[in-house]
Each structure stands twice: as structure tokens, then as C-alpha cells.
Amino acid sequence: MASGNRLKIAICGKSGLVGEKLDEFFGSIQCDVVGVKIRNDTSIEDVAKQIEKCDALINLSGATILAHWSDTYKKILYESRINTTKKLVDALELCKEKPKLFLSASAVGIYASGYAHNEESQNYADDFLSKVCQDWEAEALRAEEFEVRVALMRFGVIYAKKGGAMDKILPPFKLGVGGKLGSGEQIVSWIHIEDLVRAIHFIMKTPDIRGAVNFTSPYPLSNDAQTKIMGSVLHRPTILGVPKFALKLVFGEGASVMLDSKEVYPKKLQDAGFEFYYEKFEDAFKDIVQ
């Protein structure tokens, strides 16, 4: 997958948590990284110019889900994903030299709660977030019509040293007022940002991988177990939980992201031989706080 000797990687959403890490990673292995800028008034022709001759196109577009979901914000959540993805795929059709691979973000929120899922599961949730993911993926999969390989990256909760979910979770724990969310029984499927970035690179080098790919560690765990590990690593008490109603006050319907149980396994990556650096939450968390 090379143009000349250096790979050209185009990233839509380069300034976000994942985009910044990818920019750093691909820069370190001598790839040329370009940020794709798409606004409401950006023409498809302009997008096509930006992605022409790139080896891989990575779509990370979308407003953050860690926010209060008002009706207005739900519209932003939906349109920031679907409309941008539609523009990228429409632009692919205009490219003379198309990318070989289109990696498009999605989320484990597509799956129904209360079941174990790998990529073969068609058991999707019947809620707003799942609907967003399903429409988002359907839009991305249109790229196959132009003979572009598509990988749908179903991200679990992403943990990193800076940014993402840990920015919200860590401060109360450090102050000794951290605790489980709601009942704590909900299963959390998560991934360390380093493994996420390595998995993207792995998919680029593994042409057989296509379709849905779960970006989650092989060891999901309950929120309660996660809470206990965090308390133990930080030597802090974890008796003050956050009740369900309090999360709903702050996040509205968006509280479902923290309260719904998602037990998801990365079968496709593991079957292809990918090895996680951080399989267990304790190791990931120690790396993040050290």
C-alpha cells in the first residue's frame, strides 16, 4: 500500500483524541499525514482533491457523545457523523486514484445490552445511539461500490493519558470521591489508545480484514470491578458511587453511554493475529496514571 515509498494517510477528524495520536504515530513511521477539512459548505470536489492519491482514508468525524443529549444536541451528534461520512464517500467516487482502504469510526453502542457480542452478532440495540451507528456504517459501506476496502471501527470506551473518558473519570478518584456508576453491574468494553492506533495500522497491513471490527480489549469488565481496580491502584476509597438519577441529570439520555452494559469481544482482530499490549484493565490503568 504505498505511493512512492511513503504512505499517504488522510484523516478526517485529525484534531480529536484518536486523530492526534494517529498523526503522531504515522509521523513516527515516516508516513505523510493530511488532515481532511469538511464544513457544511465544503464541496464534494474539494473533499475529493484532499483525499486524492491517499493510501488510507480514516474517518473520525463526529461531535463528542460525552455531553448532555438535548434534542438539538442529538441532531448535531447524528448529522456530524452521517453527513460528513456521506461527503467523504461521495468524494471517493470522484477520485481518479482512490484510497485502497476506508477506515470509518463507529461504536460498540450499536450492540444490544445484556448479551455477549463479536463481529458476527446482528443483535443491535433499539435506541438512538445504535441507530446513529447503523446509519453511519451504512453510509461508510457505500465506499465498497467504488472497490475501496472498508473497515468499520466499532470503538469501545477509549482510555488515554490525556483526553477521552479518563479526563472525566479520574479527578474524583484522585480526590477519594470516586465510585461506581449506577448499579456498577454494567459491563464496560474498553481499549487503550495505543492498542487502538496499533490496530488501525494492523488493519492497513492485513488486506483480509474488512467490514465490522470491534476495537475492544479481550477482557471487558464490570464498572464495579473497574472501580475497585482504580481505587486499589490509586490507594483511594471508592465508596461514593454516582447514582443513576444524578448521571441522568447531567447527561440526559447521554447517561446511557455510562449505564448501558456492552460486552464486546475483538474476535476479528485476534483471529487475524493482532496482539494487544493492554489486555487487562489494570495494566492499562497503571500505564495511564503512572
Q: Which residues pair with 59 in a beta bridge?
A: 12, 104
| CA distances in angstroms from 2 to 5, 100, 114, 206, 230, listed in the order given | 6, 10, 43, 14, 43
**164 pLDDT tier (thresholds 50, 70, 90):** confident
| Amino acid making up residue 249 | L
As to burial, measured by CB atoms within 10 angstroms (0-12 exposed, 13-18 middle, 19+ buried), residue 43 is exposed
**5 pLDDT tier (thresholds 50, 70, 90):** confident
| Residue whose entry in the numeric block shows the C-alpha cell 495494566 | 283
Task: Judge whether 230 and 188 are in contact, CB under 8 Å.
Answer: no
Q: What pLDDT, in 10s, does the model give residues 92-117?
A: 999 999 999 999 999 999 999 999 99
List all residues 6 or more positions away from 231 whose beta carbon is below 8 Å from its beta carbon.
Answer: 173, 178, 237, 238
Question: Which of 3-12, 54-63, 123-132 has the least mean pLDDT?
Answer: 3-12
At residue 168, the pLDDT reads 85
Q: Mind listing the domains of the chain with CATH numbers?
A: 8-222+251-289 (3.40.50.720)
At residue 211, the pLDDT reads 98
- Across the chain, the runs of DSSP E, i.e. the strands, are 8-12, 32-36, 56-59, 101-107, 116-117, 149-155, 157-159, 187-188, 190-192, 211-215, 221-222, 263-264
Cα 35 to Cα 15: distance, rounded to the nearest angstrom: 8
